[in-house]
Chain A
């Protein structure tokens, strides 16, 4: 199916997201799902990014604002904890950084080529609020 060209595609054909039936999709996390080749979960838009978000766990308060407002299902939250960014599906829009409420922010945008460890080492410190 995945190798079929667009002109060989039958009219009214169906794309199946999963290779086998799932009884309860809403209760099955993404890592446990048998995605087929036709799910865009298997694709990547990583090359769209100019800047990437870097996550600094030390300042995160697990408010989950980034999870709810991520347009690309790229914030990975498990057991009510934010655990990282899905770099295959992140398009680098920067919404997660904008909605992050901590001071300093626990997510910041860096150049795509930037080294993550170095970015975390040089993280900005707390900003004093102007009175």
Chain B
């Protein structure tokens, strides 16, 4: 059981038996469940899961139904990560005392949370889990907004996005603060593995998840999750949006090992202008008005600078 699942290609991957069920209440075209399925199917081991309050939690556990075929818990907005950390600590203790009924099974401890529950509300709790060195994985489903409660801005919302608490209009272009660099913050804890993934690059995703499960210690994963409701695009275009996000380098895919060794895992053959990524979403519609057009240039410059920074760090190996 504990050896790594072999996934050479998509055909082989498709023989997996899903442990996440349909008829959950996520919006049609939601990327959350695509990410969850890719993560859960990356292993055959037992799972101990949690979800912090957010779209994923409210939509997959609507009484009297649950969409999870594994041990799953929800407590509060902030403490999904610590719930799993506690389960992991208990597992370790019972194993040490020889009181586990099946000690050869190697359960994987994973907590899912949205960007609100990770970047803002659960920040301190996650930081604690990373610092204490639990053998667990925290996965952020980053849709850059509090989508569950009606689209309030979070500290993951990027500049220029119109959210309900930072609306665009005559006097404002929407959100004014830039997105928090959560992967770098978590990597700074010196954890063995931190990475950014996207659902459209499933092979990269599976590789990183399996690496994260194999290492001993806390793992942080930031997953891009295009939100059809709050980013305002057609449900069928979810994967196109994910492609635009990775290929325009707005969401570069990289990993940080032991807090310092940075590797870029995906280099797009044709880099798409950021303008195309912005134009595909309703939340950036106002940026194409004359008075706010300068922001598109700023966006491109910022994304280029970030890509340059990642490349330099990869070269420097520090």
Contact = CB atoms under 8 A, between A and B. Distances in A.
Contacts of A27: 17, 44
Contacts of B199: 69
Contact of A41 (B15, B22, B62, B202): B22
A40 B65 contact: yes
Interface string A1-29: 11010100100000101100000111111
A122 B137 CA distance: 49
A110 interface: no
B10 A40 contact: no
B14 interface: yes
Nearest to A44: B23
A111 interface: no
A15 B69 contact: no
Interface centre among A1, A40, A45 (most CB of B within 10 A): A40
B272 interface: no
B69 A64 contact: no
Given A94-B235, A94-B236, A95-B238, A71 B30 contact: yes
A124 B146 CA distance: 41
A33 interface: yes
A65 B69 contact: no
Contacts of B200: 69
Nearest to A32: B17
Interface in A89-109: 89-95, 97-99
Contacts of A68: 10, 13-14, 34, 37-38, 202
B17 A95 contact: no
B17 A26 contact: yes
Contacts of B62: 40
A62 B10 CA distance: 10
Contacts of A17: 66, 68-69
B66 A15 contact: yes
B63 A98 contact: no
B81 interface: no
Contacts of A29: 17
A57 B18 CA distance: 23
B15 A80 contact: yes
A63 B202 CA distance: 13
Nearest to B1: A24
B240 interface: yes
B11 A98 contact: no
Contact of A40 (B23, B28, B30): B23
Contact of B22 (A25, A38, A74, A94): A74
B239 A89 contact: no
A120 interface: no
B303 interface: no
30 contacts: A24-B44, A26-B19, A38-B66, A39-B65, A40-B22, A40-B23, A40-B62, A41-B22, A41-B23, A41-B67, A42-B65, A45-B23, A48-B28, A63-B10, A63-B11, A67-B14, A68-B10, A71-B26, A71-B37, A72-B23, A72-B26, A73-B20, A74-B22, A77-B15, A80-B14, A80-B15, A89-B22, A90-B22, A93-B236, A99-B239
